[in-house]
Structure 1
Amino acid sequence: MSPVSAGPGSAAPPRRSQLFRLKPVDVIVAQHEEAGGSGLRRSMGLLQLTALSIGATLGTGIFVILGEAVPLAGPAIVLAFVLAAVTALFSALSYAELAGSIPVSGSSYSYTYATMGELVAWVCGWLLMLEYGVSVAAVAVGWGAYIDDLAANTIGAVLSEALSAPPGDGGVVNVPAMVVVLLAMALLLRGTSESARVNTAMVVLKVGVLLFFCVVAFTAFRAGNLAPFVPMGVAGITAAASQAFFSYIGFDAASTAGDEARDPRRDLPRAIVLSLLVVTVVYCLVALAAVGAVPWPQISGSEAALADVLALATGQTWTAVLLSIGAVIAIASVVLTVLYGQTRILYAMSRDGLVPPVFSRVSRRRRIPVANTVIVSVVIALLAGLVPLGELANATSIGTLFAFALVNVGVIILRRSRPDLPRTFRTPLYPLTPVLGVLFCLLLVAGLGSATWLVFLAWMLVGLAVYFGYGYRHSALRTGA
């Protein structure tokens, strides 16, 4: 392709060829292999990468979203989780192929840059900000709800009100939600390897807590609680799956760590697929145990749903207290890993000139983007403290579904344009799998409400304004920087 002559300060209107100019795969990989991964330390193996994706996923929906989705589907919430899992699986397979072919930080942003061009890459990166940044805030709000539940069951309602946000969706001002984001920031600033070790320990703990929930809840299982199984019909299952999909956000977190993986071509695809399989099995078991243990209307609307289920099923508070303690730690690991992913996506976008260079400055001693981590954490802490959970979760889901759809399209394009490219993982049943991935994403998008669509459109308009106001003018691909 011929170079573009316009300089960084040029006011000339963008030509279509400039907006959709590709960043070749070979160039992307070469840039990220320079200096041992562009300044970031390669310290993560398969275990740490899998734990990263599980940590970013497991707990988000089960601990927080279950109470929001159950009213839409009743006992069929189990099928809603399966539908959401199938949708995620198609996209996970596409992610795995692209992660093995383009083993760099940046996740789907980097993949679309290589397959669909700069403008689409920007859109995808902007959607990833919605997926990662906003989901951190949403999960932090749920963390505040479990802090409230834990305090109410242990040290009284008065202290609970002093420590936590008002009952409901959080916001104005949810102090615990802000605190957990800032604690995650402090840990990330210590370094990647330290954060990975803490996250792996948290993942083991959260799996243990959820298995404890299943054991206790299944002792109170009553088949009558599952009848009628589909009270809201198929439409209810689809609507619940659209919300439940939020609980699968994060399985792609390993793809943001391409510059810090020791063997990214081999380990990234494995970590993505393995983490999704583990999460799906756990989610379906927990959902079935919950709706079988107590009548589903009693779960509706609760942000601390699992703790409430144990309290109702056993009539004892100690089980709810233990579950809440586990949830507080488990949800904190989601905040930690998803916050990490957000900073690495901005790092990749900054290296390409699409966002300010402050986001790609790496500390020589710690080998991490310090300013990036602090800026992102403070913004997300404010978002978590002031915006309700429901609005955050829905906005995150629609952005993620569109980003996943683009990844599926990217697999098809790269298979056609670069059939010679080395691939350590190939999506099975190609091209059926990525095509179904796109269709299932669109199905779940259709189940989201009009208010969510308005938020999404407003976000996209802001994103396009930022791109044409800054990103296009400073693009490293366009300016030759």
Structure 2
Amino acid sequence: MSQARPAGPDGERRPSGRAPAPAGGLGTRGLVTFYVTSLIGAGLLGVPSVTAAIAGPASLLAWAALAVASYPIARLFAEMSARHVDCSGLSALIRSGFGRHAGDTANILLVLVYMAGNPVMGVISARYFCHLTGLGDGWTMYVAAGFMTLSVAFNAMGLALGARIQQAALVLLLLCLAAAVVLAVPSMSASRLTPFAPHGWQAVGTSAVIAFFSFLGWENVSAVAEEVRDPARSFRRAIRYAVPVVGLVYMVVAGAYLLVPHPEGTMVLSALLGARDSGVGAAAGDLVALVIVVTATNSWVLGASRLTLAATRQGLLPAALGRVGRRTGVPARVLLTLGAGYVAVLTVLGRFGVEEDRLVAFTSAVFLILYIASAAAAVRDRPTRAMRASALVTGALAVFFLLFTGTALLLALLLVLSVVPATARRRSPDRLISNEEVT
């Protein structure tokens, strides 16, 4: 039987919620891999072109500012993971700061937004695959379901093997991006950086709002905290490497895009590889894009599986889903449930023609609300000076950018208001996980 934690602010005892971790576990290198692959995803493929259209070369200032501003966010969630070694991610911090009901609400919200948002990456992968192979648009949702199933199967292999494959994929990804930038050098011209701010300095702020959503994801890795060797040391070390890598990649790619010819509407890799003039360049761009998006999808499905597992431990979902492999630590039933959920979401997207952009905006708004709650909880959680500073910066950034989510904010608030009473009806105390629930 797991040991109980000290009483929370509402006076009840807290279960550790931890099952026996598989031998080994992630170290700093594995955490860096999952951090980087969580942050470098579909946003890299299109957002730099959007910010360039809005603010011109001055959009680089927005990318630089966000690269710096992402450190406090990463630091907050790293400190959270070191303090609350739990697979429930940021909901563990919210639970510690505001009690069981708030933590349950956050956990269910996370499960829902991961279930709804992750399939968007499958759709993006499918679009590149269909373009590469010549399949028609009618195949998009079927191929997307295939890519989501692939990521579910990838995570079923276990964290140790998955981390090694992700590390190899990350190296390949970075090499491909470096090669794309190098190949674009002959087409680069400093003259394209003038005028530097063709649409005024206010446009820099607008482009920063767009670019900010590429930096959401620092909380995703917190869900594997139970499976990390020496979490207090590993998480803090990992962000020292991951934050500069993520910031540098976005800065280099955005800068290279600005220096090469890029007619309006040209995607980033297409511009760097000259795909508009070369079938080979187009194919190479599609392949690199697939590596980027599939690698990111693997990391987000990993986070979703652990957050869903946490919900079973808290009694929010059927306990039978929470069985994990004794040797691998894989929650196989959770992964199967996620796979079925992803297919269902894709079916709805295809049937009703829901635009992925709206779904991304909605899930981003929910994440920002949870960022604000996490920051407030951190201030109540006996923080160190560094954690308090990170929480205040994170909360301020989340409030600011939440104001620009438009109607997505209203939908996000409706979701929160619908989940709050549902979790309030749960009267039973938090469950402790017995050894019998680990298979």
Do Structure 1 and Structure 2 share a fold, with TM-score over 0.5? Answer: yes
2:319 aligned to which of 339, 344, 357 = 357
Corresponding residue SS for 2:196: coil
2:307 aligned to which of 345, 352, 356 = 345
Cα distance in 2 for partners of 1:106, 1:318 equals 44
2:424 aligns with 468
2:20 aligned to which of 11, 26, 36 = 36
2:104 is matched by which residue type in structure 1? Answer: W
1:395 aligns with 362
Would the alpha carbon gap of residues 23 and 254 (structure 1) be closer, same or farther in structure 2, given more than 3 Å must change?
farther
* CA RMSD, 1 decimal: 2.9
Corresponding residue SS for 1:160: coil
Structure 2 spans left out of the alignment, 5+ residues: 1-6, 433-439
Assess if the C-alpha contact under 8 Å between 2:275 and 2:281 holds in 1: no
> Could you tell me how far 1:130 is from its partner in structure 2?
5.3
Assess if the C-alpha contact under 8 Å between 1:105 and 1:259 holds in 2: yes
> Could you tell me how far 1:112 is from its partner in structure 2?
1.3
2:83 is matched by which residue type in structure 1? Answer: S
> Could you tell me how far 1:148 is from its partner in structure 2?
3.1
1:420 aligns with none
Per-residue CA deviation, residues 286-312 of structure 1 (Å, 9 max, x unaligned), is: 01111221246243xxxxx22321354
Report whether the alignment pairs 1:161 with 2:136. Answer: yes
1:94 aligns with 76
Corresponding residue SS for 2:427: helix
Assess if the C-alpha contact under 8 Å between 1:90 and 1:433 holds in 2: yes
Cα distance in 2 for partners of 1:365, 1:415 equals 36
Corresponding residue SS for 1:349: helix
2:238 aligns with 271
Assess if the C-alpha contact under 8 Å between 1:137 and 1:392 holds in 2: no
> Could you tell me how far 1:242 is from its partner in structure 2?
3.1
1:378 aligned to which of 337, 340, 355 = 340
Would the alpha carbon gap of residues 390 and 162 (structure 1) be closer, same or farther in structure 2, given more than 3 Å must change?
closer
Cα distance in 1 for partners of 2:190, 2:115 equals 40
1:410 aligned to which of 377, 382, 386 = 377
Per-residue CA deviation, residues 370-403 of structure 1 (Å, 9 max, x unaligned), is: 1111111221233245242211221222122222
Give the percent of matched residue pairs that are identical in Structure 1 and Structure 2.
22
1:336 is matched by which residue type in structure 2? Answer: N
Assess if the C-alpha contact under 8 Å between 1:203 and 1:333 holds in 2: yes
Report whether the alignment pairs 1:286 with 2:253. Answer: yes
1:171 aligns with none
Would the alpha carbon gap of residues 220 and 432 (structure 1) be closer, same or farther in structure 2, given more than 3 Å must change?
same
Cα distance in 1 for partners of 2:55, 2:343 equals 32
**How high is the TM-score relative to the length of structure 2?**
0.86
Report whether the alignment pairs 1:325 with 2:294. Answer: no
1:61 aligned to which of 30, 39, 43 = 43
1:113 aligns with 95
1:437 aligns with 394
Corresponding residue SS for 1:415: coil
Corresponding residue SS for 1:473: coil
Assess if the C-alpha contact under 8 Å between 1:63 and 1:327 holds in 2: yes
Would the alpha carbon gap of residues 335 and 306 (structure 1) be closer, same or farther in structure 2, given more than 3 Å must change?
same
2:152 aligned to which of 170, 176, 185 = 185
> Could you tell me how far 1:106 is from its partner in structure 2?
1.6
Assess if the C-alpha contact under 8 Å between 1:20 and 1:118 holds in 2: no
Cα distance in 2 for partners of 1:23, 1:60 equals 42
Would the alpha carbon gap of residues 370 and 221 (structure 1) be closer, same or farther in structure 2, given more than 3 Å must change?
same
Assess if the C-alpha contact under 8 Å between 2:73 and 2:218 holds in 1: no
Cα distance in 1 for partners of 2:420, 2:427 equals 13
1:473 is matched by which residue type in structure 2? Answer: R
**How high is the TM-score relative to the length of structure 1?**
0.79
Assess if the C-alpha contact under 8 Å between 1:252 and 1:272 holds in 2: no
Cα distance in 1 for partners of 2:328, 2:83 equals 28
Would the alpha carbon gap of residues 465 and 47 (structure 1) be closer, same or farther in structure 2, given more than 3 Å must change?
same
Equivalenced residues, count: 421
> Could you tell me how far 1:245 is from its partner in structure 2?
2.6
Report whether the alignment pairs 1:194 with 2:190. Answer: no
> Could you tell me how far 1:313 is from its partner in structure 2?
7.5
Assess if the C-alpha contact under 8 Å between 1:245 and 1:397 holds in 2: no
Would the alpha carbon gap of residues 314 and 411 (structure 1) be closer, same or farther in structure 2, given more than 3 Å must change?
same
> Could you tell me how far 1:87 is from its partner in structure 2?
4.0
Would the alpha carbon gap of residues 258 and 177 (structure 1) be closer, same or farther in structure 2, given more than 3 Å must change?
same
Cα distance in 1 for partners of 2:376, 2:196 equals 36
Cα distance in 2 for partners of 1:232, 1:129 equals 40
Corresponding residue SS for 1:225: helix
